[in-house]
Chains A and B, each alone.
Chain A
């Protein structure tokens, strides 16, 4: 079974703090993703990574950065948290195979509140 874990289920931070969200997958997947989930908006892609040290912006990268130093680990960084970044953050991973696309496997999510 694919397992995607996220470092925290709930997180409360103050405005201006630097926030780290970590994600680990155990199935040797090449791709890893960070999404933001908000009511009525579904999932929106923040960043994804297709290899170690490689990253691509998604639809809403502003205010976020990412880091992938090891294949199994993908971190989302909020450089200076703001209240409009209060949301549920979901990490996912999948294989790079042809023809694709392969389904994504999701972690349980981190509900971040910025006060």
Chain B
């Protein structure tokens, strides 16, 4: 079965600084990868997804992620963080032809310093 690891439990960055959140997946075939964001007290919102094609994926709120098959990674990036980006971020992996089985990482909590 597929699995996801988010190595960083908590990251703190200053407002305006760049951000990279790490995600490593384990799956033998081509994974289907997602990043979700959860603002305090809210459900999860999809930021972006990768199915195939261009390995650099653009999402909402100025986020992007890059799929690197050789490193089994799908890291999330943002060039300049805003205070409103403070939230918890979840990476998830699904598999082809399976609409039911999505595995989520443990999440990375982002704190933004003024």
Q: Counting CB contacts under 8 A, is A106 at the interface?
A: yes
**Secondary structure class of chain B's binding surface, majority of residues:** strand
Which of B13-21, B40-48, B70-78 contacts the other chain? Answer: B40-48
Given contacts A100-B98, A101-B94, contact A106 B106 (CB under 8 A): no
Q: Is B96 a contact partner of A100 (Cβ separation < 8 A)? A: yes
Q: Which of A4, A90, A97, A109 contacts B99 (CB 8 A)?
A: A97
Of the listed stretches A11-19, A37-45, A75-83, chain B binds A37-45
In angstroms, Cα B40 to Cα A109, docked, is 11
Which size class do A's interface residues fall under? 20 to 34
- Asked whether, in the complex, the Cβ of B99 is within 8 Å of the Cβ of A42, the reply is no
Given the complex of chains A and B, what is the CA–CA distance between A52 and B96 in angstroms? Answer: 24
**For residue B52, which residue of chain A has the nearest CB?**
A99
Please tell me if the beta carbons of B32 and A42 are within 8 angstroms of each other in the complex. no
Judge whether A96 and B99 touch: CB under 8 Å. Answer: yes
Contact B97 A100 (CB under 8 A): yes
Bound together, the chains give a CA A102 to CA B34 distance in angstroms of 10
Report the bound CA distance from A48 to B41 in whole Å. Answer: 23
Measured between alpha carbons, how far is A33 from B100 in the docked complex, in Å?
8
User: Does the CB pair B106–A99 fall under 8 Å?
Assistant: no
Knowing A40-B106, A96-B99, the reply to whether A109 touches B94 (Cβ < 8 A) is: no
A-B contact pairs, 23 of them (CB 8 A): A4-B43, A31-B100, A42-B90, A42-B104, A42-B106, A43-B44, A43-B90, A43-B104, A50-B100, A90-B43, A96-B99, A101-B94, A101-B95, A101-B97, A101-B99, A101-B101, A101-B102, A102-B99, A103-B49, A104-B44, A105-B46, A106-B36, A108-B42
